């Protein structure tokens, strides 16, 4: 191992700690209502989803209790949960639309219950697009002065090495670390971490994590080895989480949360959706006054699985 100039004071910026933690975390209806279904030919590694004709809505599912009987010909069931949570289980035909179009309509309807959270997420998305455009513009003009910047960097490194300062370089088999004040680059097997002032970027496996301490934002995008896609967009008090399984069948979830209660008191809205190719989709929407999703949301997911399958 070669170590060039040890330093004793290179603090991690505040946002980097939760960012690294995130990176590490990555390494049914009674009353005569019945279910009627056939098997779909859509086979994949996650199993066969059912073509549902009538919803199955049990009186209770975990923390949820059904309100009344199924309505709209057995295509809608309503549940209440902890702290007034509301869950609506629906059977939705595609009617010529794509699953993405149908789910987008549900997102727009649900996000209207958390307008401040959605505004913050939209603003973060706009900034991310602007940053990406700026990066591309910078890259386009960088080729002309690469040699000069390299020379300037070399000279600056030499000057800093001579004067001491917060600079360190560590190299070992599979490990490459360069640190200079608040800026650092860490390369490990399967992981790359870069910090530049208030910003941090972590690449681990198929996931990319970007965080910016200046505006309290964090974005996680990527896919698992089996092709499932995950996206997390956090901005101050708000967060949006989206997940979709690989394959032609629909297995998707979406969630929007806000630390600040809306005028109606909601802090979390979202859906869980599943359905075979061609539909219909079984969709459970959730509205909760508690940001902890482990109860109402998980029970809503079980309702969907009961009807459509895993």
| 208 three-class SS | strand
- Under the banding of pLDDT at 50, 70 and 90, the label for residue 302 is very high
Q: Across the chain, which distance is largest between two alpha carbons, in Å? A: 84
pLDDT at 303: 97
The overall average pLDDT reported for the chain is 76
**Other C-beta atoms lying within 10 Å of the C-beta of residue 119:** 13
Compute the average pLDDT of residues 10-37.
37
Summarised one tens digit per residue, pLDDT across range 56-71 is 999 999 999 999 988 8
| 122 three-class SS | helix
pLDDT at 54: 93
Summarised one tens digit per residue, pLDDT across range 192-250 is 888 888 888 888 878 888 888 877 788 888 988 888 999 999 887 889 999 999 999 99
Half-sphere exposure of 1 (CA within 13 A, CB side): 10
Q: Which of 246, 270, 243 is nearest to 258 (CA)?
A: 270
pLDDT at 160: 55
In this structure, is the dihedral angle defined by the CA atoms of residues 92, 95, 101 and 104, taken in order, positive or negative? Answer: negative
- Under the banding of pLDDT at 50, 70 and 90, the label for residue 279 is very high
CB 224 within 8 A of CB 235: no
CB 205 within 8 A of CB 190: yes
| 221 three-class SS | strand
Query: 48-52, 177-181, 197-201, 265-269: which range is least confident on average?
Result: 177-181
Compute the average pLDDT of residues 2-15.
35
Does residue 7 carry a pLDDT above 60? no
Strand residue runs (E) in the chain: 2-4, 36-39, 50-54, 60-61, 64-71, 76-80, 86-92, 167-172, 175-180, 183-188, 191-196, 199-204, 207-212, 217-223, 229-235, 238-244, 250-258, 268-275, 281-288
Summarised one tens digit per residue, pLDDT across range 151-178 is 444 445 545 545 555 667 777 777 777 7
Query: 19-33, 93-107, 187-201: which range is least confident on average?
Result: 19-33
Compute the average pLDDT of residues 272-288.
96
What DSSP designation does 82 have? G
pLDDT at 283: 98
CB 242 within 8 A of CB 230: yes
On whether the pTM is more than 0.75, the answer is no
Compute the average pLDDT of residues 94-122.
92
CB 63 within 8 A of CB 51: no
> What percentage of residues in the chain have a pLDDT greater than 90?
37
Instruction: Tell how far CA 196 is from the center of its chain.
Output: 23
Query: 25-34, 118-127, 262-271: which range is least confident on average?
Result: 25-34
Does residue 11 carry a pLDDT above 80? no
> What percentage of residues in the chain have a pLDDT greater than 70?
69
| 274 three-class SS | strand
pLDDT at 297: 92
pLDDT at 127: 67
């Amino acid at each position: 191992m070669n170590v060039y100039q040890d330093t004793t004071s290179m603090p991690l910026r505040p946002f980097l700690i939760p960012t690294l933690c995130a990176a590490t975390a990555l390494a049914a209806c009674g009353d005569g209502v019945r279910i009627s279904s056939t098997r779909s030919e859509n086979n994949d590694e996650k199993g066969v989803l059912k073509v549902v004709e009538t919803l199955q809505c049990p009186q209770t599912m975990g923390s949820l209790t059904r309100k009344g009987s199924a309505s709209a010909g057995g295509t809608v069931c309503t549940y209440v949960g902890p702290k007034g949570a509301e869950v609506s289980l629906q059977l939705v035909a595609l009617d010529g639309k794509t699953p993405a179009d149908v789910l987008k309509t549900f997102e727009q309807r649900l996000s209207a219950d958390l307008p401040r959270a959605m505004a913050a997420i939209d603003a973060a998305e706009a900034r991310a697009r602007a940053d990406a455009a700026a990066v591309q513009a910078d890259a386009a003009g960088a080729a002309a002065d690469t040699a000069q910047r390299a020379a300037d960097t070399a000279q600056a490194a030499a000057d800093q090495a001579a004067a001491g300062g917060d600079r360190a370089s560590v190299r070992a088999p599979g490990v490459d670390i360069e640190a200079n004040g608040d800026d650092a680059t860490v390369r490990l097997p399967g992981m790359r971490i870069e910090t530049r002032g208030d910003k941090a970027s972590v690449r681990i496996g198929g996931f990319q994590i970007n965080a910016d301490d200046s505006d309290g934002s964090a974005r996680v995008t990527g896919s698992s080895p089996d092709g499932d896609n995950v996206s997390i967009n956090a901005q101050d008090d708000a967060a949006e989480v989206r997940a979709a399984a690989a394959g032609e069948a629909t297995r998707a979830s979406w969630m929007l949360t806000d630390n600040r209660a809306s005028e109606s008191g909601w802090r979390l809205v979202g859906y869980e959706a599943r359905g075979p190719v061609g539909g219909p989709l079984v969709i459970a929407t959730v509205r909760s006054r508690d940001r902890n999703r482990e109860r109402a949301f998980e029970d809503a997911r079980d309702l969907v699985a009961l009807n459509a399958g895993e």
